[in-house]
Amino acid sequence: MSELKPRKTLFNPELKRRGIYILPNLFTTAALFAGFFAIVQAIQGDFERAAMAIFIAMVLDGLDGRVARLTHTQSAFGAEYDSLSDMVSFGVAPALVMYEWALHDMGRLGWIAAFIYCAGAALRLARFNTTLEVMDKRFFQGMPSPAAAALVSGLVWVMIASGISGGEVRWLACGLTIFAGVTMVSNIRYYSFKDINLRKSVPFFVIAAIALALALGAYSPEITLFGFFALYSLSGYVLAALGLFKRKSL
């Protein structure tokens, strides 16, 4: 007697498993949309909204990986999709926003500065993907692309809120754009915050500092965000200088 074929049912565990992968990829798609929206707004001349969209993309990008880990839906496809989305949101979009806002009147130097940033983001993402398994999880090698994007777009947001046009600060914008691009591909180490355990108790001053940060963010979100990422961008160089000083003192 021939083997009985299993009867098809409406419930398919494999389909259910694949369906879960939609959840983290929705966040990645939303981050990609925010980056694309920033590009569109920059072309239309609404640079403040473009800068805000990049920050929104950064928040969404931070959520997709956490959602994937919580739901056990990590996949090679999700990793590649996330990387491509990051290139648009944190590579192309900030470079274009900064170029359209301040660098386009600088001629060749302007688009070269924007390209240095864009190429730095691409190289940073490629290096991150190829060294993920061997790198120290506590630190990033080079400034992460979301932080670099926040630094560049944060300057745009702060200046617009202060009534300062891009042409008035084009040299500052050019220098900051090149700094962000070069720092992404440097060997400077940046703290990743991945070893923070939210379940552990913390001293009282930590809660007070968080409350103060929230109050400052509510009062002036653009200055608070730009200030935080400006300090973060310098923190890697401070750590490198301290490490060099310690090695020389031994």
Segment 211-229, tens digit of pLDDT: 887 787 778 889 999 999 9
Q: How far apart are CA 155 and CA 224, in angstroms?
A: 11
Instruction: With a cut of 50, say whether residue 2 has pLDDT above it.
Output: no
User: Which one is predicted more confidently, 218 or 42?
Assistant: 42
Q: What is the pLDDT of residue 16?
A: 39
Paired strand residues for 139: 191
Q: What is the rounded distance in angstroms from the CA atom of residue 216 to the CA atom of residue 221?
A: 7
Tokens of 34: 């925010």
pLDDT of residue 124: 95
**CATH superfamily of this structure's domain 18-249:** CDP-alcohol phosphotransferase transmembrane (TM) domain (1.20.120.1760)
What pLDDT is attached to residue 250? 67
**Cα–Cα dist 57/90, whole Å:** 8
Given a contact cutoff of 8 angstroms between Cβ atoms, the answer to whether 141 and 127 are in contact is yes
| More reliable by pLDDT, 100 or 243 | 100
Q: What is the pLDDT of residue 12?
A: 42
Output the pLDDT for position 67.
83
Residue 10 has pLDDT above 50, yes or no: no
Q: What's the CA angle centered on 144, arms 53 and 109, to 5 degrees? A: 75
Under the banding of pLDDT at 50, 70 and 90, the label for residue 18 is: very low
Distance CA 143, CA 124 (A): 8
| pLDDT tens figures, 57-87 | 999 998 888 888 888 788 888 888 999 999 9
pLDDT surpasses 60 at 101: yes
- Determine the average pLDDT of the residues in 153-161: 97
pTM listed for this prediction: 0.85
Q: What is the pLDDT of residue 92?
A: 97
Length of the chain: 250
The pLDDT of residue 195: 65
Instruction: Give the span between the Cα atoms of 72 and 21, in whole angstroms.
Output: 9
Compute the average pLDDT of residues 126-134: 81
CB 90 within 8 A of CB 84: no
3-state secondary structure the chain: CCCCCCCCCCCCHHHHHHHHCHHHHHHHHHHHHHHHHHHHHHHHCCHHHHHHHHHHHHHHHHHHHHHHHHCCCCCHHHHHHHHHHHHHHHHHHHHHHHHHHHHHHHCHHHHHHHHHHHHHHHHHHHHHHHCCCCCCCCEEECCCHHHHHHHHHHHHHHHHHCCCCHHHHHHHHHHHHHHHHHHHCCCCEEECCCCCCCCCCCCHHHHHHHHHHHHHHHHCHHHHHHHHHHHHHHHHHHHHHHHHHHHHHC
Say what percent of the chain tops pLDDT 90.
Answer: 60
* Tokens linked to 38: 């920033």
Enumerate the domain spans of the chain: 18-249
Q: What is the mean pLDDT of the chain?
A: 86
CA atoms of 13 and 17, how far apart (whole Å) = 6
Question: What is the predicted pLDDT for the residue at 197?
Answer: 63
pLDDT band at 198 (very low <50, low <70, confident <90, very high): low
